[in-house]
Amino acid sequence: MRVAIDKIIKLVPVILLGALAFACEEDPDKLDPMRMFTPAGDIRAVSGETQVKLTWNPSLYTTSASGATYTVEVAADTLFQTPIILSVQTDTAGVVLTDEQLDIRQKYFARIKANALGDRPESKHWAVSSSFMIRGMQIFEALMSTDITDKAVLLKWRAAEGLTQIVLTPQENGGPAGEAITVSLTEEAIAARQELVRGLTPSTAYRAEIFRGNRVVGYLNFTTNAATVGNVIDLTGFTQRPSVLEDTLLQVESGSIIVLKKGVTYTISNTVNLDRSVTIMSENTVEPTKATIFFTSNFNIAEGSQIDSVVFKDVVMRGNDYGGVYVFNIDNASTVGKIKLEGSHAEIFRGIARIKTSGVTIDKFIINNSVIDSVANYGVLTVDNSGARVNDILFSKSTFYKIERPIVSKSSANSIIIEHSTFNDAPEAGRYLVDFSSNDVAQGVQFRNNIVGRGKKIGEDNAVKGIRVGSSTLVESSSSYATSDYNATGNQIPNLTVYSGTATDLFQDPKNGDFTIKDPNFAGKSTAGDPRWR
């Protein structure tokens, strides 16, 4: 036992020396400098015409006075497997990249890391951005439907110095698909700020770019109109005979396209009982003034007729009597596949389409890219007999103002879609925007991306009502806005977002039909209402 104790005593100095040596070893976890942190959170991008600004949250445990720097690398894919296009360093939590460094309108991605700071190593990982781009300058003005024909386009732009040429490139599946057309800009074109480009192909998508030297300063995408084909009846040579349209309508073959001269007025002075399909349109030129049809009477449908379609395209229709004239006043049993107003303007009528009698079926009633104003108590569409029916109703990309009763029906329907349209002074006080009474709409009412202004006053009363349909009908509304002076007291349109100002705060001159959105802070400026006013 004594021997064992002696051995232990002899080992004590050795154990103590070992412990001391262990205590003196460096602890790498405690003594290594803390690594720089990868910037946390989203990388934010603000795109401009000539630059994009990227910002991010600073690396943890740094301040503006810390001296932290960052490396920013840019590539065309999120995995950075394509070559690094650009690499820059910055001493702030942000960087501005210009069109001298990156191509405009090209999608890029950035990755960012914190660099070494003093004895602190660089961050191990990269923060990666979502896609971003430099928007590019845009001096082109928006195209109107009258600026495009089947073989030409009238391009307009705001004043800019040093313009040299315009290039139009056919497009297919989002990319170039044919030989480009290059137009050198003359001093006259630059002064006029417009160029008419001819020699285009019908029904073809194009991308137009305007250049200052080698730099693109404006761009547009558009599609040329379809060529006018079929049985074309050209009335453009008859400029001194207003009755020529009325005289011709019942002489042409079914399916004919009647072409009118722009800037010329044609008359409908007697009831025309249509019994055949017809399209009535302005000539396909960039002349801005449409052909006008002046109504002192109206269209009807002949008894027992079965007509595929009646289409008005790019024309003005004007009545002489707000209290007594219609475009259509149908009182004969008949069937029509489609009635359509396309790119047209109709004004000063008692009603656009009134169906008075039973036995009338219209499959589709369409108002597209049009303006309707100053319409009395029979509104845009009135089905005035429970034995008549319009199956599908579409109002799209259009403006409706000074209208007492937009849609009224005494019978059911299949669908109603109202989208990307602007309403003001419509309906009249006490009236409904859509009034089906207790009649159902089988596939519901879709109300989307619209703007509704104030109701049409009766005295000082402008309280209106929204959408009245049968109890089984689903009414859905989305992405739509109402001005603060829109006062709905019943059957309200669901999910309307209320704009803080009145119609006169939002629109340029609503009294005179100019609904250009003048408030740049309006949340629906780029998404709601008739696109012509955005």
CA 493 to CA 369: how far, in whole Å? 23
**Residue 390 DSSP class:** E
pLDDT confidence band for 1 (50 / 70 / 90): very low
The per-residue pLDDT for 503 is 98
Over residues 80-108, the mean pLDDT reads: 92
Percent of the chain with pLDDT over 90: 80
**Residue 348 DSSP class:** E
Residue 531 phi, psi (nearest 5) = -60, -20
508 vs 427, 503, 505, 515, 534, CA distance in Å? 20, 9, 8, 6, 11
Positions of E strands within 427-473: 432-435, 445-448, 451-452, 463-468
The per-residue pLDDT for 105 is 86
Who's near 2: CB < 8 A, 6+ residues apart? none
**Residue 40 DSSP class:** P
Q: Which of 111-115, 144-148, 360-364, 383-387 has the lowest mean pLDDT?
A: 144-148
Q: What is the pLDDT of residues 47-64, one digit of tens each?
A: 988 899 999 998 887 776
Q: Are 309 and 276 in contact (CB under 8 A)?
A: no
Distance of CA 142 to the CA centre of its chain: 12
**What domains can you pick out in the chain, each with its CATH number?**
44-128 (2.60.40.10), 145-223 (2.60.40.10), 423-511+528-534 (no CATH)
Q: Are 394 and 421 in contact (CB under 8 A)?
A: no
**Residue 386 DSSP class:** T
Q: What is the DSSP string of 226-253?
A: PP--SSEEE-TT-SS-TTHHHHHHTTSP
pTM exceeds 0.95, yes or no = no
Residue with the two structure tokens 């209290």: 323
The per-residue pLDDT for 20 is 44
| Amino acid (one-letter) located at 213 | G
pLDDT confidence band for 136 (50 / 70 / 90): confident
Q: Are 305 and 275 in contact (CB under 8 A)?
A: yes
**Residue 512 DSSP class:** G
Q: In 408-521, which ranges are continuous DSSP H helix?
A: 503-506
pLDDT confidence band for 135 (50 / 70 / 90): confident
Q: Which of 25-29, 112-116, 345-349, 488-492 has the lowest mean pLDDT?
A: 25-29
In this structure, the strands spanning 194-198 and 152-156 are antiparallel
CA 38 to CA 267: how far, in whole Å? 75
The per-residue pLDDT for 28 is 46
Q: What is the DSSP string of 97-109?
A: EETTTS-TT--BE
Please count the other Cβ atoms lying within 10 Å of the Cβ belonging to residue 231: 12
pLDDT confidence band for 41 (50 / 70 / 90): confident
The per-residue pLDDT for 49 is 86
